[in-house]
Every structure is written in structure tokens, then in C-alpha cells.
Amino acid sequence: VVLKPDEGQRGLGVKVVRDQVAARSWFGGFSGDAVLQAFVAGKEYGVFYVRHPEEPAGRILSVTLKQQLTVTGNGTDTLETLILKHPRAIALLKIFMGRFADELDRIPEPGEMIPLGELGTHSLGALFLDGRALITPELEAEVDRIARSYEGFYFGRFDIKAADDSAFMAGRDLKIIELNGLTSEATHIYDPKHGLLHAWRTLFRQWRTAYAIGESNRRQGAAVSPVKDLVRDLLAAMKRQRRMRVP
């Protein structure tokens, strides 16, 4: 199963647990409300969806393919050396050294592949690649059908698992593991082939879309939060995050 804080960001405290001992250890180091999910195998994708309240159907603006970093044994180097030689893993050295603290001196067999991560979180080592080429009419129709089942949902990112690219593109047997709302991002911008200007342009378009949706909802009678309430809630959320104790 997967254990995660009910309120968290960027993979904070998320843990794949495989037995009761690990589960008890996680709860022993955590304070706050938690979510328990069944573990879902397969490939993970981030799907950014929008629908204007006055439009009959929504559309997918972004797809992110999430890949875990791996190292491959050569029969000579220790796991620590393999991690140090990896051009991307070196940037997250503290995370991986802590994760494999008990195995760093082990020398993997030639050809042995060791996944360095298991969570689709950029800050915890996952590689995000631009997957917009995977968007199909079948995928858009299925994601739109799912999104429209959430009343009042017009904007955000689904984190989805599917068996493979073919199943994903066909919109077949999609497993939603998380739904992110207004503060989510079109995470394909983190593909190493894209630069800072591409990220800025994408985020500016994203926020213009969010504002247009909010303005449309306001015209239709939706309540608007005063700025002071927004600031109050933001500060309260930041305070809760600082106090949260996670394993």
C-alpha cells in the first residue's frame, strides 16, 4: 500500500510500505491525518486538463511521462559509486544516499538494474519527460468523462497509472492516484530539453486560463474569496506544513 499525508506537497512523507512493520514505523513517525491507497503498478503520467465552464467538453493541455532513474551494475563498482557516476542522480545525492544507506557498499552483478526511486515526484528523483505526443482523441474523451464526474472541477492535473503507453493512449484501465487542483502545474515543463522561457510561457498561459475560468464562474454566481481570506488561509496552510512531522 501507499501511505501519504492528507495534506502535503512534492512527495512529502509519501511511502510505499510492503508489510505491517513498515506501516507501524511510518505511523510512529507521522503526526496528522493520513491517506492509505492501494499500490498501483504500471507507468505513471501527469495529465493536465482544463474545461471552460461554458464549453461542452474539456481538453488536455499537457502530458508528462514520469520515469524512475536507474543504475546498472558492472560487477566492479559499488552501488555508491554507480550513483555518484550517474549524471542526474548526483544532483539528488542526499536523497539516494539516505534511501540506500544499508546497500552502498554492495557491488551489483554485471547487468543488474537497480531502480533508484519508486515515486513519481520530480523532487524525489523521478525524471519528467514531455509526453504531449501521447495525447489522442480516445484519451481526451476518457479524461473528460472522468473530470466531468467531479462537479465544479474545471482545471488541474490528474496523476494516472496505466499498464503501458498503448493502454494510456487508448484511455483504457486508467488508475487515478492523485488529483491536483488550482496550484498544480503542467509538469512537462521539467523535461530537460525545455528551457526556462518555455516554462514561463506555459505557466503564464496556464494562469490566464485559470483566471478566465474563475471569472466565468463568478459571472454565474460563484462566491469569490476576499483577498484577506485567501492570505489568511495560505498562511495557515504554510504553518501546518511547517509543523507537520513526517517519517
Model confidence at 16: pLDDT above 90: no
- Residue 41 burial by CB count (10 A; 0-12/13-18/19+): exposed, middle or buried? exposed
Q: How far apart are CA 169 and CA 167, in angstroms?
A: 6
Model confidence at 246: pLDDT above 70: no
Mean pLDDT of 169-183: 92
Q: How far apart are CA 18 and CA 37, in angstroms?
A: 12
What is the per-residue pLDDT across 212-228, written as a single tens digit (0 to 9) for each? Answer: 999 999 999 999 889 99
pLDDT at 124: 65
Which residues neighbour 141 within 8 Å (Cβ) at sequence distance 6 or greater?
171
Query: Under a CB-based contact definition with an 8 Å cutoff, are residues 119 and 138 in contact?
Result: no
What is the per-residue pLDDT across 136-150, written as a single tens digit (0 to 9) for each? Answer: 999 999 999 999 998
Q: How far apart are CA 104 and CA 50, in angstroms?
A: 44
Ranges 80-89, 128-137, 209-218: which has the least confidence:
80-89
